[in-house]
Amino acid sequence: MYKMTNSTHNEIIKLSQRIGIIPHKCLLPIQYGLCSYTITVIRGSMCIKQTSILTNNGKYHRLNKFDYLKSEESLFLQLNIDELHYEFNKIVVMNRSLIKPLLFTYSVNFIY
């Protein structure tokens, strides 16, 4: 799985189809504080899986949230991640197609 770099400008990413040896998913960068993501699909379809750890009265709860995008659709995500649990938070972008590659752009801004 690819780990993407911090990017404040639009970076074009290509993920292969799900059948093949080239990775078909990647991790977006994440840090503690306020994280803002803008993700736009150029071609193909994607699934964005957001995994978080939430605390409630000393108990930990795992939260999985899924978003689905098709060609020319965009998504804006804004997360506020505490310093203690930021390593448990992940944003994974996956190609949904078995035979077509995915082309998308993303930008991320971190405010501490």
Cα dihedral 21, 52, 109, 2, rounded to 10, equals -10
Segment 79-97 shows an average pLDDT of 83
Segment 87-96 shows an average pLDDT of 87
Q: Report the alpha-carbon distance of residue 35 to residue 43 in Å, rounded.
A: 25
Percent of all residues in the chain with a pLDDT value above 90, rounded to a whole number: 26
Closest CA to 104 of 79, 78, 68, 80: 68
pTM attached to this predicted model: 0.80
How many CB atoms are closer than 10 A to CB 37?
Answer: 19
Tell me which architecture the domain covering 13-111 has in CATH.
Sandwich (2.60)
Q: Say what the pLDDT of residue 64 is.
A: 83
Q: Is the pLDDT of residue 47 over 90?
A: yes
Q: Say what the pLDDT of residue 4 is.
A: 57
Q: Say what the pLDDT of residue 39 is.
A: 93
Segment 80-92 shows an average pLDDT of 80
Q: Report the alpha-carbon distance of residue 9 to residue 104 in Å, rounded.
A: 13
Check: CB of residue 8 under 8 Å from CB of residue 26: no
Question: Tokens in use for 82?
Answer: 């505490």
Q: Lowest mean pLDDT: which of 9-23, 44-58, 64-78? A: 9-23
Q: Say what the pLDDT of residue 26 is.
A: 87
Closest CA to 99 of 44, 27, 47: 44
